[in-house]
Amino acid sequence: FCVVGWLRQLNGDNHVTGADAGKMAGGITLGGKWVMGSNDSLHYQLSGGEGISRYIGLGITGDSAWDAVRDELDPTGVIAGYVGWRHAFTPKLRTNLIYARSDYDNDASITGQLVTKSVQSIRGNVFYTPMPKVDIGAELMYGVREIENGRKGDISRVQFTTKYSF
């Protein structure tokens, strides 16, 4: 089990009005692994906070937006997490099934209606280790992104990998 905390300073300058705005931002992550036997484990993580979006899911939305009415920064709130099950069929063959989701608390009157409201994905993969230090794998992923105006888009992807560890 692990606990991680973030604390950071967000700064912004409005060169038109001369406003110099700063906001404290931060969040917390809780995560871990539950070993359910010799061949199975459950991996999990939950993160939440404000102004930490760049550290969640490839930085799909901004850490903050400029509030022109108040002439200050408005940090974006986020809650995100994943759960994954790993199963080893043999010492050389294993698979993972993973679900991930993140939800963003945007003030749409500041950011507009086209920013990301939420993303989620499910993925399944298989890895084979034919010899020490060599992994070959394939993954199937399906994801959905929703923006503030309620519109959604989805993606399906198949990817392959080969890794040599040295």
How many residues belong to the chain?
A: 166
Q: What's the CA gap between 101 and 46, in Å, rounded? A: 10
- What pLDDT is attached to residue 27? 96
Residue 132, CB-side half-sphere exposure with 13 Å CA sphere: 1
Structure tokens at 137: 């794998």
Q: What's the CA gap between 146 and 115, in Å, rounded? A: 9
> Does the pLDDT value for residue 59 go beyond 90?
no
Encode pLDDT of 85-142 as tens digits: 999 999 999 999 999 999 999 999 999 999 999 999 999 999 999 999 999 999 999 9
Nearest alpha-carbon partner for 34 in 86, 107, 93, 98: 86
Encode pLDDT of 140-160 as tens digits: 999 999 999 999 999 999 999
> Does the pLDDT value for residue 82 go beyond 80?
yes
Backbone angles phi, psi at 42, to 5 degrees: -115, 125
**Mean pLDDT confidence for 18-32:** 91
Give residues with Cβ within 8 angstroms of 99, minimum separation 6: 82, 83, 84, 120, 121, 122
pLDDT band at 30 (very low <50, low <70, confident <90, very high): very high
pTM (2 d.p.): 0.88
> Does residue 110 sit in helix, strand or coil?
helix
